[in-house]
Amino acid sequence: MNPSFFIRNIPIYGDLILSPMAGFSDVPYRLVCREFGMAMSYTEVVSMDGILWKNKKTFNLLDFRLVERPVTFQILGNDEDKIVEACRIIEQLGPDIIDINMGCSVSDIAGKGAGAGLLKNPSKIGRIFNKLSNILRVPVTGKIRLGWDDKSRNYQEVARILEDNGASLIAVHGRTRSQFFFGKANWDAIAEVKQSVKIPVIGNGDVKCVADIERIKRHTGCDGVMIGRAAIGHPWIFQYKDRNHVAYKDKIDLIRRHLSLMQAYYGKEIGVILFRKHVTKYIMGMPRATELRPFLVKCNSSDEIIDHISSYAERIQKHEAA
């Protein structure tokens, strides 16, 4: 099998990637997605300050397993010297790649000049990447939006600055910061970035089903596709399979296994609590799922979750057979 693309000298086999999402892109779910064909792993984003302050919870977010490689650590910050120092620290933990988040739209982050807030200052982006590409041994990549708002769509300028200052890949979310996750993602803009740089470009935004994967690749020419919300509770998308093509038994089997991974990683009680948000996503699109959801979010044991899911599936199958 030939690599789909390279991040500097790192071959990437496959072209579908799980977006780094707080609370979802943890070790257990990344392991599930890798098993289903995800091309590489991105950790949940960590803050520059959390690293410099040696915050234990922040460092825990950078945990990974060898089978996940290549692994990308994603970090955000608003101070060029501090983010460089933080990257030097996390590089020692063994990532294959370090990614600078310039897409986070959360007000407390972007409003302080980090995440998408960096897009307001392209020259600072250039200085950060110039320093990182000269100091770090691992490739440095960036995830961007189209700009701060409709009046400042500077994605092409930022893309060229990234490439000129040593970035090895650019992931583009086809919305501005002011759009957050509303409105339609602009795939034309992603295509423009792809045409304006020579490094790999990852397309992101409005990929909700298998047909969307093919459409965004065809429309933009992107080297890979980053999938966020549509992949939560649906790792089958990395096998090019839509939700309605997954058998109930397969969903229940994976719910059991994912829950087991969560409990092994976080402990029995915390694992169940953290799994609640996942299990409600697994049942999305299934008949009468809204009736089951209120029970699942209150479950305190793995037995409760499995009992609710199993009895629900039996009722649905009997109803469909009638």
- Which residue type is seen at 200? P
Per-residue pLDDT, 306: 92
pTM, two decimal places: 0.96
Query: Does 247-321 match 5-242 at the fold level?
Result: no
Q: What is the mean pLDDT of residues 47-65?
A: 98
Q: Is the pLDDT of residue 321 over 90?
A: no
Name the average pLDDT for the chain.
96
Class for the domain spanning 5-242: alpha beta
Q: What is the mean pLDDT of residues 129-135?
A: 98
Q: Is the pLDDT of residue 322 over 70?
A: no
- Span 293-313, pLDDT tens digits: 999 999 999 999 999 998 888
Share of the chain above pLDDT 90, in %: 91
Of the listed ranges 62-71, 88-97, 116-125, 303-312, the least confidently predicted one is 303-312
pLDDT interval class at 287 (50, 70, 90)? confident
Question: What dotted CATH number matches 247-321?
Answer: 1.10.1200.80
- Span 186-214, pLDDT tens digits: 999 999 999 999 999 999 999 999 999 99
Q: Is the pLDDT of residue 316 over 80?
A: no
pLDDT interval class at 319 (50, 70, 90)? low
Please state the domain extents for the chain.
Answer: 5-242, 247-321
By annotation, the residues acting in catalysis are 104
- Span 163-172, pLDDT tens digits: 999 999 999 9
Share of the chain above pLDDT 70, in %: 99
- Span 96-107, pLDDT tens digits: 999 999 999 999
Q: Inter-axis angle of helices 289-296 and 268-282, to 10 degrees? A: 170
Measured CA to CA, the distance from residue 19 to residue 227 in angstroms comes to: 5
Q: Is the pLDDT of residue 46 over 90?
A: yes
